Structure 1
Amino acid sequence: MSTGNAIGGHVLVAGGLATGGLRYAAEIGAEMAQVFVTNPRGWALNEGNAAEDAKLRAADLPVYVHANYLINFGSPTEATLENSIASVRHTLRRGREVGALGVVVHTGSAVSQPREAAFRQLRDHLLPLLEEIPDDGPDLLLEPMAGQGQMLCATVQDLGPYLSALEWHPKAGVCLDTCHAFAAGHDLSTPEGVRETFDALHAVAPGRLKLIHANDSKDVLGAKKDRHENIGAGHIGAQGFAEIMRHPAVAGVPLCIETPGKADKHREDIDLLKKLRG
């Protein structure tokens, strides 16, 4: 069985990024934490608080940042593309300021334009941002989506052309969301499906898996619907998560819940994952 998987969650930060975030992490028993550093559903680029940033850097807790949900480097809309560039650059800077190990960004959609044009935009606009990341800066973690619409990356195999458009840049990592992967057709509810999925991930992008968003699925396999469920209460099931943590490609990779509910439910999910970890 793989060992060393820190298990935590996306934390609520009422009362300050570090003060509130660390309090919530302790309340739910988190061994790692994911935070927003700006409004995830708006383009405003909020500046941080130096004192709060210092507290988060000093905490004995691995930290990850989730970027704005609106970011889309495949969009044919110029304003969306310009805002996406500014938002990723800002979030990477804020990630360095809080000591984050990675910044998670959704892989986006071609919307109404040809996929080839969307991939050219990735190369032209996201690759330069990767080049700006210093050696000690956070990796940019690409999160494949559930497969709805004209998504550029949903299956593990889709990571190949996506990373190729970014010239396999060393600062480009992967954040795999279990609900998204299940919705896209990867059967994470069975030992065979887990093995096939993570074997394929290792073959396509060896060593690039840096974070797992551990979310059960409200919907059936291949539904292409991004609806998270609490661990063990959805169609992946508790045993699926136990199998995921047994796969060699997952050794040492943190698991971060983004499940429904508040602190009591989040603690239950984290406690169950810890139990399944063994």
Structure 2
Amino acid sequence: MLWLVQLLAGALLMSLSANVFLVPLKLAEGGVTGIGIILFHTLGVPMWVTQVVANIPILALGVRVKGWRLLWRSLVGVAAYSFFLGVTAGIPPITDQVVLAIVYGGLTMGVGLGLVLRSGGTTGGTEVLALALQQRFGFSVGSMVLAVDAVVLTLAAIAFSPEAAMWAVITLFISSKVVDVVQVGFYSARGVTIITTRPDEIARRIMTEVERGVTIINGTGAYTGEPRAVLYTVAQRAELAQVKQIAHEEDPKAFVVVAEVHEVLGEGFRDPAKEGH
């Protein structure tokens, strides 16, 4: 049941971000939350009402296209977020400084949404709509979310002011970056690809001295037509210099490519079985 704890904690943080930081300063950052902020200030519609009303057709479309099995946690997420929006609506704002509200509102919203997504759910809105339209019409999820956010920010500029919309863009940027961090963490791992004529020696030393697994792939040089072994391993950033030194010592002509890795699942790194999925 760890997923449910994560989902509820994330929904609570998102509602606190909205009611304590974003709503008071009209920071309509995008999505259904942004629409809710606009409607709250222009028509007096409570945030939780907008969440429920807007997500009913979105979730209905999502379930019809993607199926109940894939979206039932999203239904729980929408219910939890709407509930906490209503419960926290009376909490007074912590600050009237727009910069503080942007930073802490974005951080809190990002952590909350990241926890919800890690639980396997969503809070409905543009993500579910984008997934449904992707399967139905072939639109990419990223472009759909970006388009909806652009529309919401344009409405915020009209309803409030262009300056308010510009502040909201910064909030959206912060929250999206924090979501990525919560999802994959502060990873310092690096993927290393080594093209060499001495694969066995390099692989043996990496496995014994660095204690990292190595995969050997048989390849062929496109220009020479000669066989080439391709080694692939993932190492922590602190181990990278040792891996490169081993490759150079065993084969000074080895071709080494180092790439940043955003997430690693498996032995020696992160175990998804312990995260409640």
Bucket of the pairwise TM-score, normalised by the shorter protein: under 0.3
Q: Is the helix fraction higher in 1 or 2?
A: 2
Which protein shows a greater Rg?
A: 2
Larger RCO: 1 or 2 (CA < 8 Å, sep 6+): 2
